[in-house]
Amino acid sequence: EGETAPVAHRTGPFKRFLQLSPSDRRLLIKAALTVAAFRIGLRLLPFHTLQQLSSSDTRAIRSVEAPSVERISWAVSAMGRRIPLASCLTQALAARYLLSRRGISCQLCIGVIKSLDGKFQAHAWVDVAGRTVIGGPATERYARLLALGEAR
């Protein structure tokens, strides 16, 4: 009665976070901040402004420790699952920002599909070199309405 779970059980995600490499921890923190910023931005700013902010090609940074496309995808997906109401568009904008900051060409895509009940459903994803890196494997089912960025 009134007992709490042992500390080891309550700190599972935190313990896993500490077991990551320093570069992965930094990337997760950057992804969390970026996803949260775009989540808030979608409520406060016009999409055009967010689209411009997500593409930061002119300020691209290159580093010996620059994370790969796969690591950025992993970090944004992981943080997207943990940040409340982080939609596919939120995650796509965040991924586009982090990728373009590292000089990686990518394309943010928005598409729609008609569901079985006749309603339209929208989805956003990011492609790098023709491969979807954020947004799941079923993007080919969507009719692409908008593609922002370079397709290489």
- pLDDT tens for 66-124 read 679 999 999 999 999 999 999 999 999 999 999 999 999 999 999 999 989 999 999 99
**The pLDDT value given to residue 16:** 85
Mean pLDDT (whole number) for 120-141: 92
- pLDDT tens for 136-152 read 888 889 999 999 987 54
Closest CA to 94 of 71, 75, 69, 76: 76
Residue whose entry in the numeric block shows the structure tokens 């586009």: 96
Q: How far apart (Å, rounded) are the C-alpha atoms in residues 3 and 43? A: 41
Residue whose entry in the numeric block shows the structure tokens 């790098």: 128
Q: How far apart (Å, rounded) are the C-alpha atoms in residues 1 and 59? A: 56
Mean pLDDT (whole number) for 120-129: 95
- pLDDT tens for 4-60 read 545 445 567 778 887 888 999 999 999 999 999 999 999 999 999 999 889 865 455
Of residues 65 and 142, more confidently modeled: 142
Neighbours of 139 (CB within 10 A): 19
110, β-bridge pairs:
124, 146
**Cβ-proximal residues to 99 (8 Å cutoff; 6+ apart), any chain:** 69, 72, 106, 126, 128, 133
Q: Model's pTM, two decimal places?
A: 0.83
What band does 65 get if pLDDT is binned at 50, 70 and 90?
low
The token pair at 33 is 């901040």
CA atoms within 13 A on the CB side of 117: 2
**The pLDDT value given to residue 3:** 53
Closest CA to 111 of 129, 127, 95: 127
